[in-house]
Amino acid sequence: MYRPNNLKEKLQAGEKAAACWLFSNSSDMAEIVAGAGFDALMIDHEHGSGSLQTAIDQYRAARSASDVTILMRVPWNDTVLIKRSLDAGMDGIMIPSVNTAEEARAAVAACRYPPTGIRSAGFGAARAGGYGRTAREYRDNLDKDLMIICQIETKEAVGNIESIAAVDGVDMLFIGPNDLSGSINKLAEFDDPEVKALFEEARDKIKASPAFLGCISNGAQQTNELFAQGFDFLLCAGDTGLAASAAGDLLKNLQK
């Protein structure tokens, strides 16, 4: 059954969105986190442990708990990886390390069917189109509803933000602070003046562009601070981190 992209509609209405990573391959965690009320979940296949089948299972579990938007970060800007993730039914896709407008155009083309893209059509096999039952509706709404996110993770990418954001189909530019700092050989040195300046340059360029502005954040305080800076979308937690923090906090406060 066709469903509009709630996250995209929320952002287009000028609202902020808080999302959670799914780093594990657990459907139970997906269902639990979805029930908490996040605006979106991001299944991570760049660093996470899941397979395409576990991603489908997580999608089903999450949607049993809420109408949350389900996104996936693919391992790389690869036509086949993007096609298979979208055929599985994801509501949006995040592509890591997009450095140029040419790379952004390739990502968008991999997401879309002809005539606006090059995505291969296997409607009877694809969960996205109801295994053929809702293929026409899916195709008719795909370009409008699919959320395409390009990650800005290098100094080169920051220099090309204006042209990347101008690519038709790119909805959001998402700053990856770790790899961005690593691209100038100062990995995770977030207090370094050069790292701060590069992050702020990326932030300000994206704010001035047509694209939504996304990033990661850590905890409620930093998330609120970044929303106040103009960020539209923040991945502010992860399933594995939430579990680890809760377990650690409990044990730290036990009196044995």
User: Which of 3, 47, 133, 196 is an active site residue?
Assistant: 47
In sequence order, the 6+-apart residues with CB closer than 8 A to the CB of 59 are: 30, 43, 70, 88, 89, 90
Instruction: Tell me if residue 45 is catalytic.
Output: no
What is the tens place of the pLDDT at every residue in 3-15?
Answer: 889 999 999 999 9
**Number of domains within the chain:** 1
CA gap 144, 216 in Å, rounded? 25
Q: Does the residue 256 lie in any domain? A: no
Find the CATH number of the domain harbouring 218. 3.20.20.60
CA distances from 202 to 37, 104, 155, 177 (A): 29, 16, 9, 10
Q: Does the residue 255 lie in any domain? A: no
Q: Does the residue 75 lie in any domain? A: yes
Whole-model pTM: value is: 0.97
- Across the chain, how many H-helices and E-strands are there? 12, 8
Question: Nearest to residue 8, comparing CAs of 169, 202, 225?
Answer: 169
Q: Does the residue 72 lie in any domain? A: yes
In sequence order, the 6+-apart residues with CB closer than 8 A to the CB of 72 are: 42, 43, 44, 45, 55, 85, 88, 90, 92, 93, 94
What is the tens place of the pLDDT at every residue in 96-154?
Answer: 999 999 999 999 999 999 999 999 999 999 999 999 999 999 999 999 999 999 999 99
**Mean per-residue pLDDT, 219-241:** 98
Residue range of the domain that includes 56:
6-250
